[in-house]
Amino acid sequence: MDLINALGVLLSSEALYISAFQLGVLFVFAGAGEWVAERAGTLNISVEGMLLAGAFGAVLGYHLTGAIAVALITGCVGGFLVALVQAEMSHRLTANQFVVGLALNVLVLGLTAFLASEIGFGPARAGVVRIPLLVDIPLVGVALFGRPWPAYAVYLLVPFLWWLVFRTRWGLEVRSVGENPQSADVSGIPVNARRRQAILLTGLACGYGGAFFVLGQVGVFQFGMINGRGFIAIAAVIFGGWTLRGTVIGAVLFGVVEAMTIATSVKGYRVDPFILDAAPYVVALTVVMVFAARVRQPRALAQPFVRGLT
């Protein structure tokens, strides 16, 4: 009964939905970007580094100019640069994409921590824009329509990526190289070029997600602030069965789970902090274990392409 009462209190809290939406924006940008790359047959372990580079780029841009719009652009550039290294090494030099991704995550973590300590960033936060009428919806109005203005880009991201992947020639070629790269190559499609382009798109999306996280959620750059959320975004793609709709649902689910752990401690409920910290990752691991074997992944996912090999 106490558990049910606690859940009732949490689910009736407006703060829970605000936190879930804020975290959901991060997961949607990272997850949807990674979805495009995985549909092209590449698995980016470096999502974590892309998000962190985006956050660092955003506070650097704000530190230099004081403009949130510029900070968002420099955040995208940060994610793009990590993606560029991942793309070139994995799909031009044919280095192992898992090793490259893990190395980039460690490099970005150390490099951003060093540079942040040397530069000394101040707080950086985007202004809140409240959408009239919609913000007055009970319980979820402020969460969905009373947020820092960069958050609203998430409403454009999903339909844009759907159109790009399913309604353009580029998207058709991306899907084909993720399913049968040898056949795509015979048809004249540059397989590794499309894969590199998909990774670069992932970098831009993750860069924006990281920028929003620091500008719209945390407000200041912190060491290791992404804290494994890039891997949760990858889990959201698996949860969604490599579909865009499923990936978005997974991203929202993980946002709610993490928001629940935050709200539990804020509301004063006594739960071991180690359990609360581990909960989102336990859920992510469980999702991967349950859904990875039950859904169909792109046939060439994580398989390097070498012309002439079958």
Q: Tell which residue, 40, 43, 6, has the closest CA to residue 195.
A: 40
280: pLDDT strictly greater than 60: yes
Q: pTM for the complete prediction?
A: 0.92
Cα 255 from Cα 217, distance rounded (Å) = 13
1: pLDDT strictly greater than 50: no
299: pLDDT strictly greater than 60: yes
141: pLDDT strictly greater than 60: yes
Q: Tell which residue, 24, 39, 28, has the closest CA to residue 199.
A: 39
Q: What is the pLDDT of residues 15-41, one digit of tens each?
A: 888 989 999 999 999 999 999 999 999
Name the residue with higher pLDDT: 19 or 308.
Answer: 19
Cα 147 from Cα 139, distance rounded (Å) = 14
Alpha helical stretches, state H, the chain = 2-11, 14-39, 47-65, 68-91, 97-119, 141-145, 154-166, 169-179, 181-186, 191-212, 229-239, 244-266, 273-291
Domains of the chain: residue spans and CATH: 10-123+138-291 (1.10.3470.10)
Bridge partners (DSSP) of residue 128 are: 148
165: pLDDT strictly greater than 50: yes
Q: What is the pLDDT of residue 2?
A: 56
The predicted model gives 145-162 an average pLDDT of: 96
The predicted model gives 67-84 an average pLDDT of: 97
- Using CA atoms, how far residue 285 sits from 216, 233, 236, 252, in Å, is 27, 12, 10, 16
pLDDT above 90 as % of the chain:
68
Q: What is the pLDDT of residue 3?
A: 54
Q: Tell which residue, 133, 156, 157, has the closest CA to residue 145.
A: 133
